[in-house]
Structure 1
Amino acid sequence: MIKRRHVLGLLAGSLIPVRSFAAYRDSEYLKTLNAAESLAPISERLPKSPRVIKLSQSGKLPGRHGGTIRMLIGGQRDIRYMPINSYARLVGYNEHLQLEPDILESFEISEDRIFTFRLRDGHRWSDGSEFTAEDFQYVWDDMFHNKKLFKGGVPASLKVNDKPPRFEVLDRLTVRYSWDDPNPDFLADIASPSPLRLMHPAAYLKQFHVKYQDKSKLASLIKEQGVEDWVALHQKMSRTVRPENPDLPTLDAWRPRTPPPAGRFVFERNPYYHRVDENGLQLPYVDRVLMDVSSSDLIAAKTGTGESDLQVTNLDFADYTFLKNAEQRYPLTVDLWKRIQGTRVALMPNLNCKDEVWRKLWWDVRVRRALSLAINRREINKAAFFGLARESSNTILPESPLFRAEYREAWSAYDPALANRLLDEAGLDRRGSGGERLLPDGRSARIIIETAGENTVESDVLELIRDHWYEVGIKIFVRVSQRELLRRRVKGGETIMTVAQGLDNGVPTADMSPKELAPTSDDQMQWPLWGLYHQSANNDGRAPDMPEAVALYKLFSDWRAAGDFASRERIWHAMLNLYTDQVFTIGTVNATLQPVVHSSRLRNVPKDGLYGFAPMSYLGVYMPDTFWYDDHA
């Protein structure tokens, strides 16, 4: 293993001590809060070494404070997009998908297994309390090691070869996590859209913990919040995935001010936020974000009538023409970003289904390849995406340094003659009176494809595939189920095939985890039980027993143990080759386009961007805290 040592903290967004600026500048908006909160001067609210975002170096414009961004959401749960888009992380990705310190002042890696984190002196939570190593200690001692809060102990994602790390507090601003073996996933986990939370505001949360709170006071809080016990109380008050507790201190750019239920959720600037621009203005530039609840079906129409200043969610390519025409009537700008999923619509044969006949067929690679070859992707591209997408298997995009054309082209040509021959060879050579193929047990080869029915793109593509597969003797029927019910049916082996989006991350580097290519999660609809086995640390689900799936898992384990970039890159290619050649999931088209609509006065929103959940965090890597209103536009 090659020993490597990184000390990061002097990258884009570098460290500039307070004295480098003549004076930091506050937003005028905070003056309205001063009377209520008695805010200290800005120089006392910022860390001694804030993160400085040098916008002009990246082709952006330094801006000005002020204004409100209106956004539309399809339900109260969708306030979850706020911490994703705000994207304040201990370590985060930049636009070039390189990791750099953000909340951290710096970090140091030794041998890919020892991670030392240095915090910014003077950094504070949004309520003004200090952010120190104590906030990490609280999570480690009082959450991870409390059997009621974490029944399984330290989260599985923190374990390497079933062993948790050693956690050390070196001083009030320095913590260390170390393993016996390499853990190349660690930084990616804490940089993700839904990060592994290593720290929480201890000073605030201790009032809800049985270890620190008086029993009578705790009982009163339990009753006040309408929960069953202190565990449910702590979980409710500490939830960060959906920012529903306005009192929970945050390190994000905007802090929530509205408890649910509500029709409008207000987020206002964090007076203690740790980033400034190159001119000394504390970020974010925009003072408030309003998230208005609307019907999902109406969001595109409302956006096109000027009711949103920044909208991505609940828009799709089918809305583009209408939105583009709206530019003539309202001060809007409509851009098209490239979606990074491995495929826009993927068909997922359930290799763990209970139906023994179908399970045996799905295990036969000839069947999976045949169904892929029977799809006319060019027709799908033209009919659903105006020919602007790329016909492809479910794999990575050319924007990834790992891309090879052979992965995109694997079994993705339209070849019904070869598809028919492969199905015959796989034992589906008998036909019924209507031309349908017959299963080995005499049933018609009819596939029920199950979907959550949450967008029209899937249904449009399935209508085309219905005709394609009928030509090779396979009939399909579509069943729509509520998402949670569908997930239960998949895990229970009750589905034969489902439809979903493909790989989340279609733009990986060799240093990003290839876990999507191996059975590692029960969210993977092609092998949910095998994925659950890994996810539960071998306590649930079932160990993979299909040789090719076992091989992928072995390669994934090898990647985690690899000690250098070249080895990781080699393993990535081995996994991509096996994954696409075996057609575990059937892709259609990728590189589809996503409308991004914003006020024509809003600056620093990229014209061209990559859009996706991981690793982009939707808008997150493009730093919405640097978006600003130009009054002269």
Structure 2
Amino acid sequence: NDKSTYFGGRGKVVLKAWMLEQYVPGQKFILVRNPYYWKVDPEGNQLPYIDKVDVREVEDRQSVALGNVSGEFDVDGMWVGAQHLSLFLEEKDKPGRDYDVGYGAVPGMVIYFNYDTKDATSRKIMRNVDFRRAFSMAINREEINEVLYSGLLDPSAGVFSKYSPYHVEETYRAYAEYDPEKAKQLLDKAGMKDSDGDGVRELPSGEDVKLVIDVSEHDLYTPSVEMLVEYLADIGVKMVMNVQHQNLIEERWEEGNYELLVWDLEGIDDPVGALQIWVPVSKGVPFYHQSAYDKGGFSKEYDEFSELLLKAKTIPYDERVAAVKKANRIMAENVFVAYVG
């Protein structure tokens, strides 16, 4: 219905470059050129150039990759990634095959801690900085890189992009080096110890350190989280995977009904232009700390981080860079989110 509204109706005069000819929900929509579109290029040619576009909705990423290889698709709007590299390389010597690997300012996988999760015990765990540091240091990013990313991942901490002017080299891998022994020490410091020797740590209250991590059905993220669960078990933290369709996972995070969540992230190259991802600029954001808008941040460090980013929007460029770099250091030191790389 949204697509029908946006692209206009059949037989109606529209101002957009494209008109909707056919829409089959969950399968495809076909766009045709608006012959009365009002724009021309510098040479006077009528826009748009292309007469017809057949857009297919494909949920299975492997099918997207196979369609790219076979020539079924001319353009892929649903990314394929490192997990499909071997498939492309098998075809590289065939006529018309030309591959290049590009990098963007988007992390390979992001783990969000829900600072407002409904369960009080889980919420206390999420808000403990030593737990978050231990969590990050328990992840063997190099192994995930080799097993699932074909060695293309650049392991890092949860920080702003290294390609942005806000990059801080000394914090780029803060708490991101694989060190399970150090992670165990941090959990001990946080009062989470395996008192009964069953391999699972307990809180001072006696409750097990047991958390649920949500991940959508994804041919890269799901196996990554399977490895993550094993890494956390090695330091005494029991993780339970909740794997569901992407739409259901999205509903849960919109409602704040989760403990940890794996999702994408854009905006690390320009955090000032994407404040809603990081700080409470309006009600309900950021989605992993929805109470911050009304009640303030869960820690004084998060409040300082927020103030720096909000201030950065209204100050001269040189001052902005300095402020956002300071925010970047706070973010790295406190592991507000965790990246694989």
Q: TM-score, normalised by structure 1?
A: 0.49
Q: Secondary structure at the match of 1:290?
A: strand
Residue 496 of structure 1 pairs with residue 259 of structure 2: yes
Distance 1:330 1:263 in 2: 30
Q: How many residues align?
A: 337
The residue type paired with residue 583 of structure 1 is: V
Q: For residue 234 of structure 2, what is the aligned residue in structure 1? A: 471
Q: Classify 1:552/1:495 alpha carbon distance in 2 versus 1 (closer, same or farther; 3 Å).
A: same
Task: Give 1:385 deviation, angstroms.
Answer: 1.0
Structure 1 contact 374–468 (Cα < 8 Å) conserved: yes
Q: Where does the alignment leave 5 or more consecutive residues of structure 2 unmatched?
A: none
Gaps of 5+ in 1: 1-75, 81-236, 590-633
1:364 equivalent in structure 2:
128
Query: 1:264: Cα distance to partner?
Result: 4.7
Report 1:264-275 matches (<5 A). 264-271=28-35, 272=37, 274=39
Q: 2:149 aligns with which of 385, 392, 395?
A: 385
Q: What amino acid does structure 1 have at the position aligned with 2:78?
A: T
Q: Per residue, is there more strand in 1 or in 2?
A: 1
Return the offset for 1:520: 4.0
Say if 1:255 and 1:572 are closer, same or farther in 2 by CA, change over 3 A: farther
1:309 pairs, out of 61, 69, 74, with 74
SS at match of 1:437: coil
SS of 2:198's equivalent in the other structure is coil
**Match of 1:276, SS?**
coil
CA contact (8 A) 2:117 2:258 kept: yes
Q: In 2, distance between residues paired with 1:487 and 1:388? A: 28
| Residues 285-434 of structure 1: pairs in structure 2 closer than 5 A | 285-294=49-58, 296=60, 297-313=62-78, 315-329=80-94, 331-341=96-106, 343-434=107-198
Distance 1:494 1:401 in 2: 35
* CA deviations over 1:470-529 (Å, ceiling 9, x no partner): 22111211012344443444455542211112x30233286x344433234646443133
The answer to whether the 8 Å contact 2:23/2:30 transfers is no
Distance verdict in 2 for CA 1:546–1:509, change over 3 Å: closer
Provide, for residues 177-210 of structure 1, a one-character-per-residue CA deviation record: whole Å limited to 9, x for no partner.
xxxxxxxxxxxxxxxxxxxxxxxxxxxxxxxxxx
State the alpha-carbon separation in 2 of the partners of residues 264 and 435 from structure 1. 50
1:580 aligns with 2:332: yes
* Aligned counterparts of 1:295 and 1:550: Cα–Cα separation in 2: 39
Residue 258 of structure 1 aligns to a residue whose secondary structure is strand
Matches within 5 A, 1:440-459: 440-453=204-217, 455-459=218-222
Q: 1:330 to 1:301 in 2, by over 3 A?
A: farther
| Cα displacement (A) at 1:392 | 0.5
1:550 corresponds to: 303
Q: How does 1:506-517 map to 2 (within 5 A)?
A: 506-508=268-270, 512-517=273-278
Would you tell me which structure has more helix in proportion to its own residues? 2
SS in 2 for 1:335: coil
State the 1:350 CA deviation.
1.1
In structure 2, C-alpha distance between the alignment counterparts of 1:543 and 1:432, rounded to whole Å: 38
Q: For each residue in 1:87-117, what CA deviation from the matched residue of structure 2 results, as whole angstroms up to 9, or x when unmatched?
A: xxxxxxxxxxxxxxxxxxxxxxxxxxxxxxx
Q: Tell me how far 1:322 sits from its aligned partner.
A: 1.8
Q: 1:336 to 1:285 in 2, by over 3 A?
A: farther
* Residue-by-residue CA offset, 1:6-50 (whole Å, 9 max, x unaligned): xxxxxxxxxxxxxxxxxxxxxxxxxxxxxxxxxxxxxxxxxxxxx
Please, what is the CA RMSD of the aligned residues?
A: 2.9
Taking a change above 3 Å as real, the CA distance of residues 468 and 516 of structure 1, as seen in their structure-2 partners, is: same
Q: Deviation string for 1:239-277 (max 9, x for gaps)?
A: 43xx3645472444x443334459553323344353525
**Equivalence map 1:46-195=2 (5 Å):** none
Residue 527 of structure 1 corresponds to 289
Whichever residue aligns with residue 69 of structure 2, its letter is G
CA-to-partner distance for each residue in 1:88-147, whole Å, 9 max, x for gaps?
A: xxxxxxxxxxxxxxxxxxxxxxxxxxxxxxxxxxxxxxxxxxxxxxxxxxxxxxxxxxxx
Which whole-Å CA distance do the structure 1 matches of 2:336 and 2:83 have between them? 29
Equivalent of 2:14 in 246, 249, 267: 249
AA aligned opposite 2:333: D
Q: State the match for 2:322 in structure 1.
A: 570
State the structure with more CA Rg: 1
Partner of residue 518 from structure 1, selected from 252, 275, 279: 279
In 2, the alpha carbon distance for the partners of 1:295 and 1:484 equals: 11
d(CA) in 2 for partners of 1:509 and 1:481? 29
Cα distance in 2 for residues equivalent to 1:585 and 1:434: 29
